[in-house]
Amino acid sequence: MLSRHSFVVIDDNADEIKGLKYDFVANVMSSFKDEKHKHRKLKYKENVGVTSDDIISDNKNNKEGYIKADQLFYFNKKKIKYYVLATISDDLLDELIRLIVELEVENKLKQNTKNIEAIV
């Protein structure tokens, strides 16, 4: 479980994975510590860079970060506390979805179901 972390929601429709029910699928976001860290993290295909231009919100922090496209986290909305901070641009969401599909075809997608396993 990742508490107090930012996520990009990919889907919020009810479904099942491995017989477990969920209604919230998201990728975790991380920030860069410095330019060296940014350069190192963006070398990896599975990390998608995010700038403040990609964020649609009245409360931008003007920081850059990245989305870990290879890690899908599954949740049950009734069992977690969350709130929406912002929206990402359609272009970034399209790029992220394309990369997730590509990583799935390459068998490089990690599906984390630990957040729904405890609520069977």
- Predicted confidence (pLDDT) per residue in 94-118, tens digit: 999 999 999 999 999 999 999 898 6
Residue 2 lies in a domain: no
Residue 1 lies in a domain: no
Q: Give bridge partners of residue 68 from the DSSP assignment.
A: 47
**What is the rounded distance in angstroms from the CA atom of residue 50 to the CA atom of residue 31?**
9
Q: Which backbone phi and psi does 78 adopt, to 5 degrees?
A: -70, -15
| pLDDT at residue number 81 | 85
| pLDDT at residue number 1 | 46
Residue 50 lies in a domain: yes
Q: Judge whether 29 and 91 are in contact, CB under 8 Å.
A: no
Of 65, 70, 68, nearest to 86 by C-alpha is: 65
Report the DSSP pairing between strands 110-112 and 65-75: parallel
What parts of the chain have a pLDDT lower than 50? 1, 120
Residue 42 lies in a domain: yes
| pLDDT at residue number 3 | 59
Q: 49: domain range?
A: 7-117
> What H or E segment, with its residue span, contains residue 25?
strand 24-31
CATH number at residue 95: 2.30.30
| pLDDT at residue number 80 | 87
Residue 107 lies in a domain: yes
